[in-house]
Chain A
């Protein structure tokens, strides 16, 4: 594909759960190198949008192209960081083994990992500054550490597009800032789409903001005004609140 073509192109996409429309006529185009924040109130269809880009669910209508292909065929170029709260913390698995899961698609199912897989996993852990944790049990880490490890897992697959679902949902403000700083650095190399219900913080890091509330409207971060936000959240939102707290 052409370097100037958008990495993600969504046209007239609608999706419904059990007859209730979750997304309606959504259009979105994400250029290479973008850092897109997807915001919206709870239940607005943000996660649905991510799952459509991943090809985990299929839209009722409309087309989705990721790297010019249908989403399933582009998965090897996409790294995904799910909400870590959905994982089982009592599972006996080491940090290294979690990150190595990101290398599964790059080889056959049988036998062990190759040296190269371990090296890439180690590199990914170093990139998110958690190399010293590699032998720890995943469940014993703090919320912020878990999040970094899941980002490392996504990076281990050498993705060109990184999708994150509420990466700072269960961490405190300082850790949140750390993680956004890390993502900003990663954005020099990969395109990032980040879902968050928390608007104030991400506006200082992302290049574009897409407001989802069944429908989607995308703007450059600097163009965001109170009216755009209010329209999305169906009511006034104090977008400066977080900045003041800092």
Chain B
């Protein structure tokens, strides 16, 4: 533990890692709240895995994989969003197919890239200790877009998530608002991939928000709590994984998962024992 803080004080790579972790917590707290209350975990998973296709293609042509990830995430968000709105019955099948096609595309392109082969594992499981300064700038930009959009569109997002039909009656363009929300989730996915990789994105997107949900009385409160929890999970994960040299992403997710399970079981026990908090 002490070793972590000594290195943190002197080494830029670890400072960067902490910064990336905090940037990710901000995005996952805010957008994860929408994912949890609107129950679109599977849709978010679909977007996340399709991203590998974009990263693979960008890598093959020598572009920045992060840029490929942003483009692929946005395209996937729009396609999956339209499918879930228009063909609701087949939603899970089609998303499952896109999920697999995206990953397969990515793997093919990465495999065929000439020269030194990037470690596929970095994309799949993330490597928060290896994020470049340039990537951090992009992440700051993405975070700014997400926070600003939610600040401006808080009410329409709330309306569409809570009662879609009523929102339509109130004259909201539900399709555009929903697709915009999915695009913001897509950008969040790109940020989170830097921390925990494609495979574990869904965990970081849902666990802090799902934990916060037990105590939050409004969407804004749930977002704030989820951001704090996310920050706690990522920093604790980094600290815990550093000395024993464990993969940071997996450590972060395990801590988040453990806290979520403990809180949920604890809540369940309280309810079962009839010890209800005074009605809020």
Docked complex Cα distance between A98 and B162 (Å): 9
From B153, B161, B213, B279, A110 is in contact (CB under 8 Å) with B153
Docked complex Cα distance between A217 and B124 (Å): 64
Docked complex Cα distance between A92 and B219 (Å): 6
- Give a binary string over B138-174; 1 marks a CB under 8 Å from any A CB, 0 the rest: 0000000000000011011011011101111111100
**Contact, CB under 8 Å: A56 / B168:** yes
Query: Closest residue of chain B to A54, judged by CB?
Result: B169
From B156, B217, B222, A104 is in contact (CB under 8 Å) with B156
Interface residues of A in 79-117 (CB under 8 A from B): 80, 82, 87-88, 90-94, 97-98, 100-102, 104-105, 109-113
Closest CB-CB distance, B178 to chain A, in whole Å? 14
**Contact, CB under 8 Å: A80 / B280:** no
- Is A126 interfacial (CB-CB < 8 Å)? no
**Contact, CB under 8 Å: B156 / A94:** no
Q: A-B contact count, CB below 8 Å?
A: 76
Interface size class of B (residues with CB under 8 A): 20 to 34
Q: Which residues of A contact B165 (CB under 8 A)?
A: 56, 82
Known A-B contacts A92-B219, A110-B153; A75 and B169 likewise in contact (beta carbons under 8 Å): yes
Docked complex Cα distance between A87 and B222 (Å): 19
- Is B83 interfacial (CB-CB < 8 Å)? no
Q: Which residues of A contact B166 (CB under 8 A)?
A: 80, 82, 101, 153
Closest CB-CB distance, A142 to chain B, in whole Å? 11
**Contact, CB under 8 Å: A105 / B152:** no
**Contact, CB under 8 Å: A92 / B216:** yes
Instruction: Tell me which of B161, B165, B169, B217 has the highest count of chain A C-beta atoms within 10 A of its own C-beta.
Output: B169
Docked complex Cα distance between A97 and B221 (Å): 13
Q: Which residues of B contact A111 (CB under 8 A)?
A: 152
Q: Which residues of A contact B6 (CB under 8 A)?
A: none
**Contact, CB under 8 Å: A80 / B162:** no
**Contact, CB under 8 Å: B169 / A137:** no
Closest CB-CB distance, B196 to chain A, in whole Å? 25
Known A-B contacts A56-B165, A80-B169, A140-B280; A109 and B216 likewise in contact (beta carbons under 8 Å): no
Query: Closest residue of chain B to A138, judged by CB?
Result: B162
- Is B10 interfacial (CB-CB < 8 Å)? no
Chain A contact residue count (CB 8 A cutoff): 31
**Contact, CB under 8 Å: B162 / A87:** yes
From A88, A109, A140, B172 is in contact (CB under 8 Å) with A109
**Contact, CB under 8 Å: A92 / B222:** yes
Query: Closest residue of chain A to B221, judged by CB?
Result: A92
**Contact, CB under 8 Å: A105 / B168:** no
Docked complex Cα distance between A93 and B222 (Å): 10
- Is A136 interfacial (CB-CB < 8 Å)? yes
**Contact, CB under 8 Å: A112 / B163:** no
- Give a binary string over B194-238; 1 marks a CB under 8 Å from any A CB, 0 the rest: 000000000000000000010011110110000000000000000
Q: Which residues of A contact B37 (CB under 8 A)?
A: 88, 91-92
Q: Which residues of B contact A78 (CB under 8 A)?
A: 169
**Contact, CB under 8 Å: B280 / A109:** no
Closest CB-CB distance, A101 to chain B, in whole Å? 5
Known A-B contacts A104-B155, A109-B153, A111-B152; A91 and B172 likewise in contact (beta carbons under 8 Å): no
Docked complex Cα distance between A153 and B169 (Å): 12
Interface residues of B in 260-280 (CB under 8 A from A): 279-280
Contact residues of B with A, CB < 8 Å? 37, 152-153, 155-156, 158-159, 161-163, 165-172, 213, 216-219, 221-222, 279-280
Q: Ordered nearest first, which 8 A-B pairs have the shortest CB separation?
A: A105-B170, A104-B170, A105-B171, A92-B216, A109-B156, A92-B222, A137-B217, A101-B159
Beyond A54-B169, A82-B165, A92-B221, 15 additional pairs, beta carbon < 8 A = A56-B169, A75-B169, A80-B166, A88-B162, A91-B161, A92-B222, A97-B158, A102-B170, A104-B156, A105-B170, A105-B172, A109-B155, A110-B153, A136-B280, A153-B166
A to B CB contacts below 8 Å, 22 in the list: A56-B168, A75-B169, A80-B169, A82-B163, A87-B162, A88-B37, A91-B37, A94-B218, A97-B218, A98-B162, A101-B158, A101-B162, A101-B170, A102-B170, A105-B171, A105-B172, A109-B155, A110-B152, A112-B155, A137-B280, A140-B279, A140-B280
